[in-house]
Amino acid sequence: MIFKLQKGIYSTIQNPNKPFEKRGLTVAVHPFYFRTNGISKKDEIYEIELNEELRRSKNHLIILEESFRIFASVDEITKFYISHPFIVPTIESDPTPSECDWNEIIIFIKKLWDEKNPIKLIGGFLWMGDNPTERGCLGFTEYKLNEEYNLPVEVIHTLTFH
């Protein structure tokens, strides 16, 4: 079950009025997209490593997920993630928020993130196919956070689709 915290941002916790403790932050972009085309051995390894990361992470987790996949992704994430994820619905095949804009996401990030370490980025594609000039959903999110909003980010390459 998910609850609306504010325009375009949801959570698995019901009390949106309680302030959140600032701590590290991980942003997962379409983390289960690989399942749409069948699961390869590489996908299985990614999923095992993703689940391990979620089990041991003390970071807040924001999931950017296509609107129609929200409930399936939340079900998967909450099997392993020990805290409560925040969910931002996106338009299909794109990390652009579907119910709010990036400025609202950045304001929310600044409420959660302690700024001691870079924001971890996981899931998604850095590039479209083998073309390193066309950003994938994770690459676009990295660009938005780092280049447009000057937030330090760290892509966890072992937890991306390629």
Domain boundaries, the chain: 3-12+23-159
Would you give per-residue pLDDT tens digits along the chain (162 residues)?
A: 788 888 999 888 766 566 788 999 999 998 876 555 555 677 677 778 888 888 888 899 999 998 888 877 777 777 766 677 899 999 988 899 999 999 999 999 999 999 999 999 998 888 877 767 788 899 999 999 999 999 999 999 888 876
Where does the chain have alpha helices with state H? Answer: 41-56, 70-80, 102-112, 137-142
The pLDDT, as a whole number, for residue 46 is: 77
Q: pTM here?
A: 0.87
Give the Cα-Cα-Cα angle 99, 4, 111 (nearest 5 degrees).
85
The pLDDT, as a whole number, for residue 37 is: 57
